[in-house]
Amino acid sequence: MKIRNKIIALMISLIAIPTFAIAKDGPYIGVKAAKIDIDYKTVDNVDLNKVFPGDFEALDLHLGYNLGSAFFELGYINSNKESKNLGTAVFSGVTLTGSTSLEFDGYRIGAGYNFPVNKQFVIKPFINYYDLDITASGTLTASSGSTTVSATTTVSGSDEMIDAGLGFDYLIDERSKISFGYARTLDSLDDTDNVQTFSLSFNHQF
């Protein structure tokens, strides 16, 4: 069975786990600020960590539903555009400089389970599936004397990943909470070893 099919089966199984519900069944909305760290692979003897930016900030807007102690979310995530300077080289009196940039956005489907510590604190393991559109661009500039020539290329494509992690909720009241979370990929993006996400979110139930 493919890992994505196992994830779907796990999400469905959350519905059937009996336990005390800490929140009323029903929908909620949320916003999440995330710091995302990407660790790239080495491809054809090129360490991609030296080519592409790896630290991103992203905003995740999501709708969720509490069902017993389980929860399910559908979100839209959008990163900032990060750049990396590739440095400077000189060949035969011509100075070459280069840079790359990367950004992404897409959709997230998530599920998890709430384990109450007390009336105000909750621990929640969770899992997410992402479908992302990724845009990368690169610029090469050649300078000689007063003459400068630049060339830019942009490529885009889609990719998927699955991560899992642990969250800690602080319940402000019966409807609102602040959450801290950490996640790491189980099935990472192409040409990456892993993706880590640190997040802070606010959710409000209707």
Written as one letter, the residue type at 35 is K
Q: What is the pLDDT of residue 40?
A: 96
pLDDT over 80 at 30, yes or no:
yes
pLDDT of residue 11: 53
User: What span, in angstroms and rounded, lies between the C-alpha atoms of 67 and 167?
Assistant: 18
Q: What is the pLDDT averaged over residues 80-87?
A: 91
The 10s digit of each residue's pLDDT in 1-27 is 455 565 555 555 544 444 444 567 899
SS3 call for 93: coil
Task: Determine phi and psi for 93, rounding to 5 degrees.
Answer: 80, 0
> Mind listing the pLDDT tens digit for each residue in 50-77?
889 999 999 999 999 999 999 999 999 9
Q: Which amino acid is at 45?
A: N
* The one-letter amino acid at 134: I
Pairing label, strands 70-79, 94-113 = antiparallel
What sign for the dihedral angle of Cα 4, 5, 8, 13?
A: negative
Residue 92, phi-psi category: left (phi > 0), alpha (psi -120 to 50), beta (remainder): left
Residue 71: predicted pLDDT: 96
Q: Nearest CA to 68 among 110, 30, 26?
A: 26
Residue from 104, 199, 79, 112 nearest 160 by CA? 104
Closest CA to 69 of 130, 4, 9, 126: 126
Share of the chain above pLDDT 70, in %: 86
**pLDDT tens digits for range 99-149:** 999 999 999 999 999 999 998 999 999 999 999 999 999 998 888 888 888
Residue 197 contacts residue 167 (beta carbons within 8 Å): no
The residues near 100 (Cβ < 8 Å, ≥ 6 apart) are 51, 52, 53, 83, 84, 86, 136, 137, 138, 139
